[in-house]
Structure 1
Amino acid sequence: MSQAKSVDADVIENLKSLGGMELLAELHTVFISTSEALIADLHKALAAGDALGVQEKAHSLKSSSGNMGALQLSQICMQLEKMGQTKDLSQAKDLAQKLDVEFKQVSLELRQIVAAQ
């Protein structure tokens, strides 16, 4: 299976080496719930044309995504963060849709990783 993964296996292995599957399962739960709230808030900020809100939510999500090995999701967040910084949200709606799709994939992969252990 040569399909690209949304979650970096090396990051997951590093997390497991730090605290085992219990830690990974707990981090997964916190990451998903926190990310869902951040994404909802990001969409609200985007709908309101709130560039600072987009920047702040994208920044928070960028960091946590990277820490969980969701590197593509983190990259999307970095782009949204930059759009917020420059106050140019003209392409942000399309990018936010990509973020939604990627987050669903990350959620699925993390759930499978935790369930398989």
Structure 2
Amino acid sequence: MVDVHIDEKVLSDLREVMEDGYLQLLETFLEDSERRLSQLHEAKDADELGLAAHSFKGSSSNMGAVGLAELCRELEDRVRQQPLYGIEDLINRIDMEYIEVRRFYRDEWQRVATE
């Protein structure tokens, strides 16, 4: 189970650096994440799954979504091992973690937008 969903320090650094672009960054991350999640679910083989996990890991890490990045890293490692039995559980955990992350970033967007 993931203990930490978001690294608040990364987020505060991003907000400081991005200034007026911060809200757009949050929106872009959420839109991008939806696409990456679809790629995970639609992957036809281990290579596609590994690439999708790697991309999702990178963007999640950059945005401070440390729990999501860690699960994607686990998936990326796992797809290198054959056979891929049981991998659905890990993808389900990524789905569940993304729900938490999405809720957090939407709340963050609302909070910043109304300041």
Per the normalisation by structure 2, the TM-score is 0.88
User: What secondary structure is seen at the aligned counterpart in 1 of 2:85?
Assistant: coil
Deviations 1:53-85 (A, max 9, x none): 110000000000001110000000001111222
Residue equivalent to 1:102: 97
User: What secondary structure is seen at the aligned counterpart in 2 of 1:116?
Assistant: helix
Higher mean C-alpha deviation, range 29-38 or range 71-80: 29-38
Aligned equivalents of 2:72 and 2:4: distance in 1? 17
Q: Does 1:44 align with 2:39?
A: no
User: Identity of paired residues, percent?
Assistant: 30
Detail structure 1 runs of 4+ shifted over 6 Å in the superposition.
none
Aligned equivalents of 1:29 and 1:112: distance in 2? 12
Determine if contact 2:4/2:67 at 8 Å carries over to the other structure: no
Aligned equivalents of 1:53 and 1:14: distance in 2? 32
Residue equivalent to 2:31: 33
May I ask how many residue pairs the two structures share in their alignment? 110
Determine if contact 1:7/1:110 at 8 Å carries over to the other structure: no
Aligned equivalents of 2:42 and 2:23: distance in 1? 29
Per the normalisation by structure 1, the TM-score is 0.87
Q: CA deviation at 1:114?
A: 1.6
User: What secondary structure is seen at the aligned counterpart in 1 of 2:64?
Assistant: coil
Q: CA deviation at 1:5?
A: 5.0
Aligned equivalents of 2:34 and 2:40: distance in 1? 10
Aligned equivalents of 1:33 and 1:19: distance in 2? 18
Unpaired segments ≥5 residues, structure 2: none
Unpaired segments ≥5 residues, structure 1: none
Q: Give the letter aligned to residue 8 of structure 1.
A: D
Superposition map of 1:63-102 within 5 A: 63-102=58-97
Determine if contact 2:50/2:76 at 8 Å carries over to the other structure: yes
> What root-mean-square deviation, in Å, do the aligned CA atoms of Structure 1 and Structure 2 show?
1.4
